Amino acid sequence: MREPQFGASFPSSSVHDSLRQEQKDHRRQRFDNLDLREEHSDRDEEERDEDLDEEQDEGGMSKKRTPRRRQSGATCSDRARLRRQEANARERSRMHGLNSALESLRKVVPCYSSAQKLSKIETLRLAKNYIRALSETLSAGTRPDLVAFARTLCKGLSQPTTNLVAGCLQLNAGRFLASPGDITPPCDAPYAYGNAETSRADASKHFRSFSYCNMYDSYYNSASPDSQLSPPVNYNGMFSFQKPDEQTECVASCRYGATCCGAPGRASISRPSAYTASPDSHFPNELTRMRNQPFQTQEQLNAGYHN
DNA sequence: TAGGCCATCTGGTCCT
DNA sequence: AGGACCAGATGGCCTA
- How does pLDDT run across A249-276, given as a tens digit for each residue? 222 222 222 333 322 222 233 322 322 2
Between A97 and A294, name the one with better pLDDT. Answer: A97
Distance CA A250, CA A41 (A): 49
**A186 phi-psi bin (left φ>0, alpha ψ -120 to 50, beta other):** alpha
Residues near strand C (C-beta below 7 A) are A 2-3, 5, 8-9, 12, 16, 19-20, 23, 27, 83, 86-87, 90-91, 94
Name, of A30-39, A62-71, A85-94, A232-241, the range with top average pLDDT.
A85-94
Tell me what the mean pLDDT of segment A44-52 comes to: 35
Q: What is the pTM of this model?
A: 0.52
Contact by Cβ (8 Å): A119, A5: yes
Residues 6+ apart with CB under 8 A from A161: A4, A6, A7, A118, A122, A125, A126, A154
Distance CA A34, CA A265 (A): 49
The residue that minimises its CA distance to C1' of C6 is: A91
pLDDT, tens digit (0-9, with 9 covering 90-100), for A62-88: 222 223 333 334 455 777 888 888 888
Between A232 and A282, name the one with better pLDDT. Answer: A232
Mean pLDDT across chain A, nearest whole number?
A: 50
Q: What is the DSSP string of A247-291?
A: --HHHHHSTT---SS--TTS--SS--------TT-SHHHHHHHHH
Residue A1: nearest nucleotide (C-alpha to C1'): B3
pLDDT, tens digit (0-9, with 9 covering 90-100), for A118-163: 888 889 999 999 999 999 999 988 887 888 888 888 888 888 888 7
Contact by Cβ (8 Å): A215, A239: yes
Distance CA A72, CA A70 (A): 5
Residues in chain A: 307
